[in-house]
Structure 1
Amino acid sequence: MRSIVFASGKGGVGKSTVTLNLGLTLAAAGKRVVVVDADLEMANIGILLGIDATPISLHNVLSGENEMQDAVYAGPNNMRYVPASLSPEKMERLDLDKLPSAIKKLDDSSDFVLIDCPPGLGPSAVAAIKSAKEIVIVSTPEPSALADALKVRALAERHGVKIVGVVLNMVLGDRSEIKKEDFETVMEVPIIGLLPEDVEVRRSAALQVPVIIRAPGTAFSRAMRLLASRLSGEKLAIQETKVKKGLFSSIMEFFGRIFGRK
């Protein structure tokens, strides 16, 4: 089993979107995948999937109320996921030291455990990074993101986590951006994926249907399949998922169910 944490030094680089869509892509190729939402303060995986609040989450595991296996749910493409709670009250009584052992309990049933790390370098991010054997740094080709990515690299090295590489997201390909080669030179880490800026990603987030499912032919989805093949080290035969019309609720209904509003 490969446990890989996806981390970024700053928010807004699309880390959760990358983690989830990569997990769905690997699962569509027949890999046994679990995506863990370890962003304990700003959980996003469930929202991106259009899933209502779940009865048991990673918060319950880290507070000692439940076992990790109790918090695993079935998702699209036979991918499984462990959600984090959207309730601010659940932040109390969390024992971050439990996270590595909780992740390890997924070993026997998974080929890949992909961990969505909180942005930044706070205690929750450190706990998520320490819980994985490998790390992929998600960034964008701009100076501030590069500076923060360097901090994440240093943190990973400090804790002995193998750095697989960097995924550059939201790439426009114009002169305003740091070139791939220059980014690699400064980071001293290979760029393993270039994901283009794609309007379908934003639309898919609004509709709460992952872009790899909703728009498999778009530029982002094609680049995601290349990333999945590179990360797995093999050419993957990926089955597309059919989406039924009317399957997902409106955004207002979704948040109304989560927060108990009609």
Structure 2
Amino acid sequence: MSEVETRNGDQAKDLRRIVDMQRRPARAGYGLRSLAVLSGKGGVGKSNISVNLSLAMAGRGKRIVLLDADLGMANVDLLCGLSPKFNLAHVIRGEKEVLDILLPLGENLSVLPGGPGVRELADLGEDALLSLIDSMSVLEGMADMLIIDTGAGIHRNSISFGTASDAVLLVTTPEPTSIRDAYGVLKALAFAAAGKADVTVVVNMAASPEEGEDVADRIRSAASQFLGISPSFGGTVLRDDAVPLAVRKRTPLLTAYPDSGASQSLRAVADRMLGLEDAREAPSSGRGVKSFFFRLARGLGLRR
């Protein structure tokens, strides 16, 4: 088989995956749920968590769309070995449809490249925003959850994604600077969301489950006492040499090293967040993709 035939066959297979996700009916009364992944600083493994948590949830039968919305360090494509030709900016400009830019990544998971389109959201007029939201509504029928990999820190864009989403996953490590900056994100979220933020804390690169739980307890206690919010504990992801090896392979950890300690940790986090572990309640239905983009536009400062 020639290289062209192989490439065309791969593209046809990818298209069939997206169409299959779209054809599967949404549950009655069920709205797409949005989850923004935030961190206080860079280098804590936020994007790795976003990618592999998406894979783990997809492995549990959830239909996931992963939006790469990190303006400064967008690297979901690198972690997944993808080469996007188009991104959200092409949809905003009316040059492409959403289905044209989605990149399948295994069963039940597609990546939505954000690129400069995330920045252009803030410059949309009301008519253009309504047109974009109408085009993005296709996600409502093809996904159960939209996971957003945001930028690190307390920049307006990142916090806007957090407040627009149904829930937030806050990633930290045991390092003191990471803990301090994670608390800074919680403070910004509590202020922007008037104390109504639904936050789950995950501790990455921990030496042991006990260390991760201790770090999370300190953050949660301070947030409850001083910010009036009560984050949940999503679990601990252990430090693992398999993680940098997977990055160098440009292959997600769960695909490259499915039996590694970190992969097992990530699947446990996914199960806990889906209500499949520790008798935790399953997450409530989301408010849908249209509501998400309306709230996001307001947070970014919609141009009227």
Normalising by structure 2, we get a TM-score of 0.67
Q: 2:259 is matched with which residue: 187, 202, 217?
A: 217
Q: Distance in 2 between matches of 1:149 and 1:104?
A: 32
Q: Which runs of 5+ in 1 are unaligned?
A: 236-262
Q: Which runs of 5+ in 2 are unaligned?
A: 1-31, 225-230, 278-304
Q: Distance in 2 between matches of 1:156 and 1:146?
A: 15
Q: Distance in 1 between matches of 2:269 and 2:179?
A: 20
Distance change in 2, residues 1:73/1:190 (3 Å): same
- Aligned residues between the structures: 230
Distance change in 2, residues 1:217/1:127 (3 Å): same
The equivalent residue for 2:220 is 184
Q: Distance in 2 between matches of 1:201 and 1:65?
A: 37
Q: Residue 103 of structure 1: CA displacement?
A: 6.4
Are 1:73 and 2:108 counterparts? no
Q: Residue 186 of structure 1: CA displacement?
A: 2.3
Q: Distance in 2 between matches of 1:164 and 1:92?
A: 23
The equivalent residue for 1:94 is 120
- Give secondary structure in 2 for the equivalent of 1:12: coil
Higher alpha-carbon Rg: 2
What amino acid maps onto 2:161 in structure 1? A
Q: Distance in 2 between matches of 1:104 and 1:9?
A: 31
CA offset digits 1:2-28 (Å, max 9, x no partner) = 100000111001000001000001111
Q: Distance in 1 between matches of 2:272 and 2:107?
A: 20
Q: Residue 200 of structure 1: CA displacement?
A: 0.2
Q: Is the 8 A contact 2:209 2:236 kept in 1?
A: no
The equivalent residue for 1:162 is 197
- Give secondary structure in 1 for the equivalent of 2:120: coil
What amino acid maps onto 2:120 in structure 1? L
- Give secondary structure in 2 for the equivalent of 1:217: coil
CA offset digits 1:19-59 (Å, max 9, x no partner) = 1000001111211011110012321110001112x221123
Q: Residue 181 of structure 1: CA displacement?
A: 3.0
Q: Residue 91 of structure 1: CA displacement?
A: 7.3
Q: Distance in 1 between matches of 2:245 and 2:170?
A: 24
Q: CA RMSD in A?
A: 2.8
Normalising by structure 1, we get a TM-score of 0.77
Q: Is the 8 A contact 1:2 1:112 kept in 2?
A: yes
What amino acid maps onto 2:76 in structure 1? I
Q: Which has the higher helix share?
A: 2
